[in-house]
Amino acid sequence: MKLLILDRDGTLNRSRDDYVASADEWEPLPGALEAIARLNHGGWRVVLATNQSGLGRGMFDMASLNAIHTKMHRALAAVGGRVEAVFFCPHAPEDACTCRKPAPGLFEQIGERFGLPLADVPAAGNALRHVQAAAAAGCPTHLLMTGKSEHLRGQVDTLVPRAPPSTALLGLPPGTCVHADLAAFADWLLAQDPTADARASGLAPL
């Protein structure tokens, strides 16, 4: 099984200054849904790991979160994509839980659920805390220059798999690769397996 862990807000959908608190506020980033579909066709199963402290702060409830994810799953299905599961931390920062990123708890839960060593599970997201949590759990780490990291465009060399020296100045874990967005990350990941890349492009049978 090939498993991939992604962040949600700012990676798959547009982030907000406060919270994505309703289905109406959930808006996919250009090309992100299609990128997941291509990864699926390349043999990758995708799960999300996301902090949702708006629950703990009382900014929205579980019904609203479920409605957001229902909209997300339907939008993905419309382009031939699928997210296997959404692992989320509902706690506020003061709760001092072990699952709120940058703590690695969500990633450890995913590894246990799917029975995979996390060293074999790449993780990509737009926030430093996502990358730090992934590294703490042992995942190969990738930063996307969208959402919280959009300001880094033009400051960091996005040629991968080389991790530029400048990534150390950003506080990124050693070996972190940097990509323009989810589509660029999907391109890179699929290129590591030419057969998968061909399947994702419709050039080989699934």
Strand partners, 123: 5, 141
CB atoms within 10 A of CB 3: 21
Whether 9 sits among the annotated catalytic residues: the reply is yes
Within 8 A by CB and 6+ apart from 134, the residues are 5, 104, 107, 123, 125, 140, 141, 173
Rounded-to-integer distance, Cα 48 and Cα 106, Å: 9
- To the query of whether residue 7 is one of the catalytic residues in this protein, the response is yes
9, 120, 187, 193: the active-site residue: 9
Cis peptide before 194 (omega within 30 of 0): no
DSSP states along 109-136: HHHHHHT--GGG--EEESSHHHHHHHHH
Task: Please name the amino acid found at residue 59.
Answer: M
Q: Choose, from 7, 17, 18, 181, the residue flagged as catalytic.
A: 7
Residue positions annotated with a catalytic role? 7, 9
